[in-house]
Amino acid sequence: MSGAFETENYRNLFKEYGYPEEKIEKKLKDAFETVFYGTEAERFYHEVGEDMGYLEDTGNHDVRTEGMSYGMMVCVQLNKKEEFDRIWKWVKTYMWMSEGAGRYYFRWSCSTEGSPNSDGPAPDGEEFFAMSLFFASHRWGDGTGIFNYSQEAKNILKECVHKGENGNLGEPMWDRENKLIKFIPGVDFTDPSYHLPHFYELFALWANKEDREFWRQAAQASRTYLHCACHPDTGLSPEYGEYNGEPHTGHVEQFGRHDWYYSDAYRTIANIGLDTLWFGKDPWQKEIAQTFQEFYCVKQKGHWDGVFLIDGTRLEEKALHPVAVVAVNAQASLAADGAYSRECVEKFWNTPLRTGDRRYYDNFLYLFALMALSGNYRIWK
């Protein structure tokens, strides 16, 4: 197997399945315009003053490092530098912490006015910030100050690995022994959807030289971990997982229930699809993606809005983000490439962006799937 990192070939599955290029381009353009510049009922990007902007989690009415880093990734992929810089300046102004145990991390949640809701970070934000900043550096060139993109990315990754060393306050975001990303610093469990080996492969090229071997090992560790986290009969993964891949059943009073295939977990199979597209290093990814699509298209054909245990047991709850389910099931086709790939892609093509209060998470995963399936989610070297 080989991926787009080597071949420069970014598959356009929509085109492969017969959709006209002009319709594909329009669909992606329209989705971006809706999310960023649509009506008040559609968009969740908001400009602030002359040079800042934020993306609101419309379900929780706050601003999260998750959404801000996702917005930056969308903008660098679609060559939207002004919006990228606005978002990044808002992040550095309000979310970046200059003191305390979280020094040089980003608080995971703020109000839409910028006041802190937390003094703790969430590692998925940091890894997306770093990757989007590297891509911005390579696509647009480094600027000065906070717009020296590549240096900002290196600074983030240094903290993620070395926080707490040499008497400094705080905890790293990766377990330095097993090289696995943590759910949050200071805990000994993880979130399977945080595992982005395709990012770590690139961090191993572009991070500080002394950390590159760490990132090479982290890429391999995460690929190995996903074998354990994804159930072999369904392809489903839990929201939170132990380091051995078992669903994490603790911390319910603190965080709620997360041992099931629910909102966070939807991203896992999409990440596997993108890792296959970019690097294609793990043949298992094709097998598990095909298993995953068979689970939805055959075993649960009429229940795509369900909530499941990872063994496939369907629970009474309904998916909080049903459009996100459709999006990631389609993005899995980048790895699966089998009997149900076309069905999943076509279902996604015919699904509109979500409206209403919960549109933020669904429509970000929708945008990612649109970019990935149209050949527009690329490595910028």
Catalytic center residues = 66, 264
Beta carbons of 12 and 374 less than 8 angstroms apart: yes
Which residues lie below 8 Å from residue 53, measured CB to CB, with a gap of 6+?
45, 46, 47, 83, 86, 87, 90
Rounded-to-integer distance, Cα 37 and Cα 30, Å: 10
Alpha-carbon 258 to chain mean position: 18
- DSSP per residue over 19-57, as a string? --HHHHHHHHHHHHHHHHHS-TTT--EEEETTTEEEE-B
- Alpha helices by DSSP H, listed for 181-321, are 197-206, 212-229, 252-255, 266-278, 284-294
> Percent helix, strand and coil across the chain, each rounded to 5?
50, 10, 40
CA distance 89 to 165: 28
Residue with tokens 């527009």, as numbered in its chain: 376
Distance (Å, whole) CA 239 – CA 138: 33
| Cα–Cα separations (whole angstroms), residue 368 to 76, 118, 180, 372 | 12, 27, 24, 6
Beta-carbon neighbour count of residue 138 at 10 Å?
Answer: 17
User: How is residue 317 annotated by DSSP?
Assistant: E
CA distances to 95, 187, 309 from 28, rounded to whole Å, are 29, 38, 33
CA dist., res. 44 & res. 54, Å (int): 8
3-class state of residue 256 by DSSP:
coil
Q: What is the DSSP letter of 351?
A: P
Using the 8-state DSSP alphabet, how is residue 188 labeled? Answer: S
Type and span of the H or E element at 365: helix 359-373
Q: Which amino acid does the sequence have at 66? A: E
